[in-house]
Amino acid sequence: MKDYIKHNEWNIIEEGFDPKLNRISESLFSIGNGRMGQRANFEEKYSGDSLQGSYVAGVYYPDKTRVGWWKNGYPEYFAKVINSANWIGIDIVIDGKPLDLATCKVRDFRRVLNMKEGYLLREFVATTSDGKELKVQSQRFCSIVDDQLGAIQYNLSPLNFSGEIKVSPYIDFDVVNEDSNYGEKFWEEMEKSVNGEGGWIVARTNKLDFHVAAGMKCVLKKNDAVVDLSWEAVQKDKYIETYANIYLQEGESLKIEKYASIVSSENHEKLQLSTVCENELIKAVKKGFEVMLREQAAAWALKWEESDIRIDGDVSAQQGIRFNIFQLHQTYTGEDERLNIGPKGFTGEKYGGSTYWDTEAYCLPFYLSTADHHVARNLLLYRYKQLDKAIENASKLGFDNGAALYPMVTMNGEECHNEWEITFEEIHRNGAIAYAIFDYVRYTGDEEYVADYGLEVLIAIARFWSQRVNYSEAKKKYVMLGVTGPNEYENNVNNNWYTNLIASWCMKYALEMARFVKEHNAEKYGRLVQQIHFDEVQESAVWTDIVDNMYYPVDPETGIILQQEGYMDKEQVQVKDLDPKHLPLNQKWSWDRILRSCFIKQADVLQGIYFFEEQFDKETIARNFEFYEARTVHESSLSPCVHSILAAQLGQKEKSYEMYLRTARLDLDDYNNDTEDGCHITSMAGTWLSVVKGFGGMKVTDGQLSFNPFIPDQWDSYSFKIRFRDWLLKINVTQEKVEVENRSETQLTIQLYDKPVVLQPRHTEMVTS
């Protein structure tokens, strides 16, 4: 755990430069706009340890799977969002000495991510080897108003010398991915142009032929007056640069405004990319940096108006929740149904930037409550449009009759995860896809989605589960063999309780929705039955039999739901009894030792209880929470939020708060020693869930919204806003009272502490807590 980020309500602040922390900071201070993103690499040369990262949404590379053996059905590649053009580069040379924080002395270093207005600020004083001091301030952002543009304002001022400064802005497509198999490079130059103060490069990816144009234009200002310099052009393979020399007197200032445009063939015709890129740059220069910055602040103000969570009395908690919300908005805007949310977003290479089940299980509720419902709908449509690939994935593993197995990792619907125990065994992911449909319809009331798209997905998933189980004569029950549950510290187990539960629920829900669509939209139902050859009588009978006779392992002595058969055969040790030197297990223990232990990476049984809480009484929830929380090491970023929510529901305020802080500050404090690889974007939605569903006790039951709020002792108050169907509500909780404000024009009845409350339009109701 690190503790170098200064606590501040609206800013992420680093004071002082420690090269050993640089990769972590590069992740934390990343910027993005849903279309592209950039790690917090330095503009100027840096020869120290760094992970260069610039990413373009939807552009990826099928890196060949590297294994020493092969199995039928094994994916042929691992998809990854590849490092794109370095567009931020501005090399600075002072009287022949390069500005490089790895070789210069550095003082007064400060880096600030302004979350309220959406920009990154950095300032420092560097001293070269010959004693020259240069003050630098840089400010940059990826525009969410013009989402194909980035802008940089880079300020220089000599403090103790007068001399010549060489300024060299550049675009570099000759980049690599640190995690590339076989050291491959992914880009091939197609064309380029450089002249005067700017230029552009169009490059294509190998194999999949994505085209991306990256361009720049620069404006120099000396003492805030534009200077007309003679720029020289440099071009190499996949690289363009313009440079100019300018003499600065001691105390004078030089301001470099660099505008960059990144456009891709995902959104434009390939032959038009250079033209689009140039036009975007002309637009940026015409607006100017200050105008673009004001537009950025205004756009972020609107986002915060919809989704901010305010916490009074606990700056650490406030900073944590806003950081998580900020990164979620930077990663996904919901305007393009072809895009999804990678576990690292635009902050790093790990997990390939691909789509996991995290989106449906954790992220969807955030977007349901903080954005127009089409944003969440687009997340569902992403999966619907990949249904054919999911059916193809299942067929590769021997399933038929239109059974669908959604991939664990994907870019285009094909499975591309390169670990066999995940690819073949962690099939519970299918359940998250179905649960997302349920969650969406329950929250929005958009029942048309089921008839138009959802039912087809649900039937295909139910067909998979019905083929994946087998009947055990010994148990007289249906069983599920050879799986991996959400707890990935177990592989190839039999009857993982969560997997059995979600499989059974999927078949039951598919039957319910089939009946619903048949009753309410017989025409669409009839067309779908013919299209997918759904044998209503026979398949329904099979699914019903499985649902009624599924095996669920339970310890008869304690009543504990067993994570899987044989779990109690393990030596039962609690995390509190482990010497801290053993943690984190995934960095200290062998895989064999982890698999033989009772320790749990993330919520597994508790994931099922969280999803289907209404099926369990409070005593069952409490008994299993106490048992599994004691054995969970939370070495997955997805784990603490589920524990926080369940602890809140059980009235365990301190445990709920402890788990909230862990999820809220997971990256800021580098809990698991892995933030240098990128931030845990999808789990950040869990921070929001911890506040709204945990502390706020928000649920939707039979179409009605309910709240059962409490407030941590460490806080004076907290408030959040949610969209629910046609209503916008603000909930404010203090140590003494709860206020629910209806900001809409129509009346709404909710449940508050299990009592009905009628919210009049534009009115606030208050109850004492």
Each residue's pLDDT tens digit, 569-590: 999 999 999 999 999 999 999 9
Q: Which of 554, 384, 553, 542 is nearest to 468 (CA)?
A: 542
Q: Which of 99, 90, 107, 119 is nearest to 17 (CA)?
A: 107
Residue 715 has pLDDT above 80, yes or no: yes
- Phi-psi sector, 439: left (phi>0), alpha (psi -120 to 50), beta: alpha
Q: Which of 397, 494, 38 is nearest to 408 (CA)?
A: 397
The alpha carbons of the chain give a radius of gyration, in whole angstroms, of 27
> Are the CB atoms for 330 and 37 separated by under 8 Å?
yes
Q: pLDDT confidence of 343, banded at 50, 70, 90?
A: confident
Q: CA-to-CA distance for 297 and 379, rounded, in angstroms?
A: 27
> Are the CB atoms for 542 and 465 separated by under 8 Å?
no
pLDDT the model gives residue 442: 97
Q: What is the mean pLDDT of residues 705-713?
A: 96
pLDDT the model gives residue 70: 63
Query: Six-digit token pair at 159?
Result: 């403090």
Looking at the DSSP bridge assignments, the partners of residue 478 are: 471, 550
Q: What is the mean pLDDT of residues 491-509?
A: 97
Q: pLDDT confidence of 424, banded at 50, 70, 90?
A: confident
> Are the CB atoms for 349 and 53 separated by under 8 Å?
yes
Q: What is the mean pLDDT of residues 46-64?
A: 92
Q: What is the mean pLDDT of residues 133-161?
A: 98
> Are the CB atoms for 240 and 248 separated by under 8 Å?
no
Q: CA-to-CA distance for 186 and 204, rounded, in angstroms?
A: 8
Question: Is 117 an annotated catalytic residue?
Answer: no
Residue-level length of the chain: 769
Buried b (16+ CB within 10 A) or exposed e, 116-137: ebbbbbbebbbebeeebbbbbb
pLDDT the model gives residue 353: 64
Q: pLDDT confidence of 66, banded at 50, 70, 90?
A: low
Residue 67 has pLDDT above 70, yes or no: no
Q: If DSSP codes are grouped into helix, strand and coil, which group holds residue 418?
A: coil
Residue 6 has pLDDT above 70, yes or no: yes
Mean pLDDT over all residues of the chain? 95
pLDDT the model gives residue 65: 65
Q: What is the pTM of this model?
A: 0.95
Please name the residues in contact with 590: beta carbons below 8 A apart, sequence gap of 6 or more. none
* Alpha carbon 298 to its chain's center: 24
Of the listed 241, 488, 539, 741, which one is catalytic?
A: 488
Q: Which of 100, 90, 124, 112 is nearest to 17 (CA)?
A: 124
Q: Which of 451, 471, 469 is nearest to 459 (CA)?
A: 451
Q: pLDDT confidence of 78, banded at 50, 70, 90?
A: confident
Looking at the DSSP bridge assignments, the partners of residue 665 are: none
Q: What is the mean pLDDT of residues 112-140?
A: 97
pLDDT the model gives residue 196: 84
Residue 281 has pLDDT above 80, yes or no: yes
pLDDT per position as a tens digit, 229-243: 889 999 999 999 999
Residue 700 has pLDDT above 90, yes or no: yes
192 HSE (CA, 13 A, CB side): 27
pLDDT the model gives residue 430: 97
Q: CA-to-CA distance for 556 and 519, rounded, in angstroms?
A: 42
Q: Is pLDDT larger for residue 77 or for residue 223?
A: 223
Query: Six-digit token pair at 586?
Result: 């995934």
The strand pair at 748-752 and 704-707 is best described as parallel
Neighbours of 13 (CB within 10 A): 17
User: How does DSSP assign 740-761, residue by residue?
Assistant: EEE-SSS-EEEEETTEEEEE-T
Q: CA-to-CA distance for 225 and 211, rounded, in angstroms?
A: 37
671 HSE (CA, 13 A, CB side): 21
Q: Is pLDDT larger for residue 101 or for residue 79?
A: 101
> Are the CB atoms for 158 and 132 separated by under 8 Å?
yes
Q: What is the mean pLDDT of residues 326-332?
A: 95
Instruction: Report the Cα–Cα distance between both ends of the chain, in Å, rounded.
Output: 35
Q: What is the mean pLDDT of residues 516-544?
A: 97
Q: What is the mean pLDDT of residues 268-297?
A: 98
pLDDT per position as a tens digit, 453-490: 999 999 999 999 999 999 999 999 999 999 999 999 99
Q: What is the mean pLDDT of residues 508-526?
A: 98
Any idea which of 408-422, 435-449, 476-490, 559-573 has the lowest mean pLDDT?
408-422
Q: pLDDT confidence of 68, banded at 50, 70, 90?
A: low
